[in-house]
Structure 1
Amino acid sequence: MTLPLDSSAYRTTPARERPPRRVTVLGATGSIGENTLDLIGRDPARYRIVALTGGENVERLAELAIHHKAELAVIADETRYEALRERLEGTGIEAAAGRRAVIEAASRPADWTMAAIVGVAGLEPTHAALKQGATVAVANKECLVCAGPVFMAEVRRHGATLLPVDSEHSAAMQILSQSPDVEIDKLCLTASGGPFRCSTRQEMASVTPEQALKHPNWSMGRKITLDSATLMNKALEMLEAQHLFDLPPDRIDAVIHPQSIVHCLVYYRDGSVLAHMSPPDMRTPIAYTLAWPERMQVPMPPLDLPKLATLTFEAPDEDRFPALRLARHALQTGGSAGAVLNAANEVAAEAFFAGAIGFIAITEIVERVLSESPELVDRAPGRIEEVIAIDEEARRRTREYLPAFA
């Protein structure tokens, strides 16, 4: 089980005597980045912003960089460099653009980095942040889904601290830190079931992107919201859990919990079950990583269990939501199954948003790519470059299959 390094030395220094933490936010204009900066902005004296990066939204990136007095702002889209430079002119904030500039931003010395770039684009920057040997809060699923062994080896090599941002993995880490893994029977992640929890396959066949983006509990970015609707988000989280906590596939499970209050359950060999609860607000797990190894105040009302009254749980229906079945297959298969699954899902998701395929075709395409790419799935990459090459090939194959599902 991989857990953060000892933090006793940090705890012995009173907060008021510590210098401001140097912070970088990769993916500052996304929902995780915005929530992170919301928390930082409530106590700005405790933080110094080294770098903020964004994808295409120059206007918002410039606003955030100016408001938080960042040293550097980087836009991934090279064509937006001039627009960013103009907005930052006279502020003293350095502007840069492009993939290499994002990686360079991640390489700048920082005490804590939020890795929240969506997709495979986040692999290289997160890898660069890990090499500093500091703390990296990872919200980018692809780092572990696609390159879990590579990333965990880098964590150990550089003495970095990797803290999960997903509410389920954050919950699991907080529970598992109390017990040796030999005492654990099963780790069970919860899923809300998304907006189509009670829908039939026939009803889901006509789902629109607008309907898929109406999550009943969480406010998240477009891609993760769609993944929550197909339950692919939970599938990816099961793959992440294997690498984060070094558990065998048969000890990782998922359960439907519509209220999204319980985020993880850990079953022990003595019959005990420990559950972690918190409101469905991403600022809670973000705050846990930002303040770790301590706790910080988060601006939300406390959990009111009498008001909630009822918490329910259901077994997932893997016929209606085959993503979980695909995750179990990928867990057992190993190799590059996670990378291929993720690449196919990303391409299929974009095709759905573009109106090229239907909702239920997303997981159907992923399953076909996995089943017809054994030589790709069987590869065991040892470097990030190899992972990216596998991702690119899986995407190419997925695009070839799209017309058959139109």
Structure 2
Amino acid sequence: MIADGSTAEGAENRILVVDTRSSLDYIHGHIQDALNVPYDLTAQDGKPLYTNGRDKVSTTASDKMADSWMTHLLVNQLVNDFVSTYQDSTIIFYGDDRASDAVQIAQKIGYTHVSILQSSNYEEWLFKHPGMTEMYAPGVVSMDELSGSFVVSGLVNNVNYENVSIRATHHGITYKGGALSRNSLIWANIPPFCFLELLTYLGADPKGNMAKGIDSGDMADWKSKYPDGQRVDYELTWDGADRYYHLDELFDEKPSEFDTTATTTSRRDFTTLGMEPRIGGTRDSNVLWNPGCLYCHYACVCGITSNAKANEDTWFDDGGIYDIIHFPNDDRNYYASRYYAQADRMPGAGKKILIRVKIIKLRGRSPCSQARPK
């Protein structure tokens, strides 16, 4: 199964191997190609958890497969096309004693091709198949626990390069499978759920002010906010580069093409704001919408990290809108940013990159004093 590539990303009719243990256990070691869907996040008192799509996750919030939290966690780590629930996928659960419970939860949700790995305990698998195990999370190339940093593989957008390489977007770095990955130049191979769990493992505080669970409130509640969580820095390199480049070295900040205060002769006095990625406390709101956002150039209620220097009021001032329902083809939904990629400094469409992610530690606190994933 694993040896023939059936469980690998991109495999036709991919078999989904799902680890039901905690994120901490998954990070310490898991079966090759496995997804992490902790049982405790998917069920309560033997019943599946669902979302109402707004502000609640409970056993009674819905009864639709697309609303189940198990489905949301699966989609977060696969490809979100706004439709797929992976209902017809073969799913094999493992991890510990709760793997059999996860099978029952999946069946209650409506999944039919589900089973438990014969040796459902990970320790047994590790003993028998040590060469078919991995640590950390998808895409992670290396980790430095002492400095609170890791390197993850990625690539340059190859489906919308002609736009994102020259037009400025809201999205800085996205998981390549995310629903909004089309709108960012930089793609990472790590899903958002795993990304924040790994940051937390390394000592980052996952809390923030941009959402409360899945509830981000109304636009009036969040458009003026800036993320107030722990700072995270990003650096990029690639084959042929002489060093790692800090993210703000690869973007120019200048007036948006949709700046509404522009005139035929001049633009308003333009003040650059900079970049300061911070955690927003958005793990669950990210899983709810599954946009794939790891870092947004503007303060965001879904991005795992977003910019503490520019908020959504800034986005609107720059000429942006949020109305894909009434104006799905209006470019102001996508390209009204002030942050323009210096694509000529980076490799071309589809080329591989490496992204170094580093926690900026809080004074007087060490990684071992921070919260761990649950």
- The structure carrying a bigger helix percent of its residues is 1
Greater strand percent: which structure? 2
Normalising to structure 2: TM-score of the pair?
A: 0.30
TM-score normalized by the length of structure 1: 0.29
